[in-house]
A and B are shown apart, each in its own frame.
Chain A
Amino acid sequence: MRGGRRVAIVGVGYSDAGRRTGLSERHHAAQAARAALADAGLESADIDGLTTWGGNPIDFAHMLGFSPLRWHLDVGISPAFISPAIHAAHAVASGQADTVVAMRVILQQPSRANLWAGGTGMAFDAQFQHPFGDLMPAQWAGLLTNRYLHESDATEEDFANFAVTQRGYAAKNPEALMREPMTVEDYLAAPYISKPLRLLDCDYPCDSGAAVIFTTEERARDLRQKPVFVEATGLSANHDMTFELLPDMVRTSPVHCLQQLWSHTDLTAADLDCAQLYDGFSVITLQWLEALGVCEPGQAGPFVSSGGTSLTGALPTNTDGGACNVGRRHGANFCIEATRQLRGGQSGERQVADAEVALWANAVGPFSGAMLLTGA
């Protein structure tokens, strides 16, 4: 990142994620944070900043013995985990804190109201959604997917190939919750949730805590893991949270987000060794691929079907299997997977050889964020 101290990711960790674990938000937060500290080789006393979406950073910090904090931020409705991650990185870069834990804690919940609890305007806006039977994110995703199919060259078979490719990665990831082999026929046989969106286009709800630790380059050099550096970040917001009313459902905020990100670095999309692109719904990843320019506009579907996102393709993408298979870690999995890829040798059978540059990105539509990481 230009202008400030150089920042590195030094620790990553998950809680014991799963379906209806019975564990509380605090429990998942505690497991994830302790796992990230152990990964980094850090002690509680080393942490002087905390930010989270899900739970409260002040509460979590006391529970984990991080007191006193010099910096904390309670992140609300925002582009998933990228938001606490970007704020944590910039807190370290600016010197507001030295070693910051960024977290996303999310319990398996059925509704948008619960998923986005705390948004002051959401209850008001729901009166223009709920009476029409517009109740779940899968329905705006149906609208975005249908418009994308209309404007692009993508077909349902391309979406099937996307799901199959991701499941192939998941089969190589012991932490993925969905690892059974899947075929194009399996995808096409799965029910529509909100046509043309099918069940296997959706991320897999679960209880999950995830934590990532950011610190200075200087501190990072003494720690257990090979540092992974934050090269650039980008954020964008261009509409309220009503995805259904986006004027353009195909070219959404990732386009602007990536303009911000690339303006802060000399690297380009051609330098990427892998990409970890949000897949809360399949169409989101396809939008990011096009926003990155790794294929022509409207060509992300054929790009996927021709193997472009596979381990031997032009841009290995969502190499942990994505949230459709790893489970709804709400973006944190992409940061953790990008970090492991760049450490080298930590992604097992799905390791991208000699990976040095990775981009991870979250969300779509009204808001999004992206972070560019380097291994050296």
Chain B
Amino acid sequence: MTQQADLARPAPPEMVIDALSAPFWAAARERRLELQRCQDCGLFIHLPRPVCRRCGSFRLAFEPVSGRGSVYSYTETRRVFHPFFADRVPYLLASIELAEQADLRILSNLVGIAEPDVRFGMAVEVTFEDLSPDLTIPVFVPAGSLA
């Protein structure tokens, strides 16, 4: 892809990344899924927060997770809500239940599968997609399809 084509493409939606969330995005740039975890009680916390809701600890750090999970729910977006996604519609959003902890959910995209083939509870695993030179996001594919 030429540099000119990159410039023609609309930029992804603006994001507010601060010190609390920067490790998540830095890890994604290196194709790792890392989530915040309480260093005192072990609870994974997503979205990132300054305090652990279970034990009140402020000792929180990002740790790698397996990237394996299952589809809790999904929806196929049929409308263009931002120009960046104009050539992606329709696309799949999913709430993924991660393997590490009951009720640990992440919102992401399901890729490499068509909407009629998605099943509730189906096993998925993380992969990564570069949205721009500066932004890589974790997305999910059916388990085993990365081999």
Interface-forming stretch among B1-9, B59-67, B102-110? B102-110
Report if B115 contacts A (CB, 8 A).
yes
Contact of A135 among B13, B95, B109, B139 (CB under 8 A): B13
Among A123, A133, A194, contact of B16 (Cβ-Cβ < 8 Å): A123
Segment at the B interface, from A8-16, A239-247, A362-370: A239-247
Which residues of B have CB within 8 Å of A135?
Answer: 13, 81-82
Chain A residues with CB under 8 Å of B75's CB are 139, 142-143, 145-146, 194-197
Indicate with 1 or 0, residue by residue over B90-122, a CB within 8 angstroms of chain A CB atoms: 110111000000110111110000010000100
* Cβ of B39 to closest chain A Cβ, rounded Å: 22
Binds B, one of A124-132, A203-211, A310-318: A124-132
* B21→A143 contact, CB < 8 A: no
Q: Does B128 contact A (CB under 8 A)?
A: no
A150 at the interface (CB under 8 A from B): yes
Which residues of B sit under 8 angstroms from A146, Cβ to Cβ?
73-75
Q: Which residues of B, 109-147, contact A by the 8 Å Cβ criterion?
A: 109, 115, 120, 131, 135, 137, 139
Interface of A, secondary structure class, is: helix
- The answer, yes or no, to whether A116 is at the interface (CB within 8 Å) is no
Chain A interface bracket (under 10, 10 to 19, 20 to 34, 35 or more):
35 or more
A135 to chain B, nearest CB (A): 4
Tell me whether A192 and B78 are in contact (CB under 8 A).
Answer: yes
* Interface mask (A214-253 → B, CB under 8 Å = 1, otherwise 0): 0000000000000000000000000010101111010000
B28 to chain A, nearest CB (A): 10
Interface string of B11-49 (1 = CB under 8 A from A): 011111110110001000000000000000000001100
* Chain B residues engaging chain A, CB cutoff 8 angstroms: 12-18, 20-21, 25, 46-47, 72-79, 81-82, 84-85, 88, 90-91, 93-95, 102-103, 105-109, 115, 120, 131, 135, 137, 139
- Given contacts A130-B13, A244-B105, 9 further A-B pairs with CB under 8 A are A132-B107, A139-B77, A142-B75, A142-B77, A142-B93, A143-B95, A150-B120, A194-B77, A244-B93
**A residues neighboring B (CB under 8 Å):** 123-136, 138-139, 142-147, 150, 191-197, 240, 242, 244-247, 249
Q: List 13 A-B contacts (CB under 8 A).
A: A124-B18, A127-B16, A128-B47, A131-B12, A133-B84, A133-B93, A139-B93, A143-B94, A146-B75, A147-B120, A194-B79, A195-B115, A245-B46
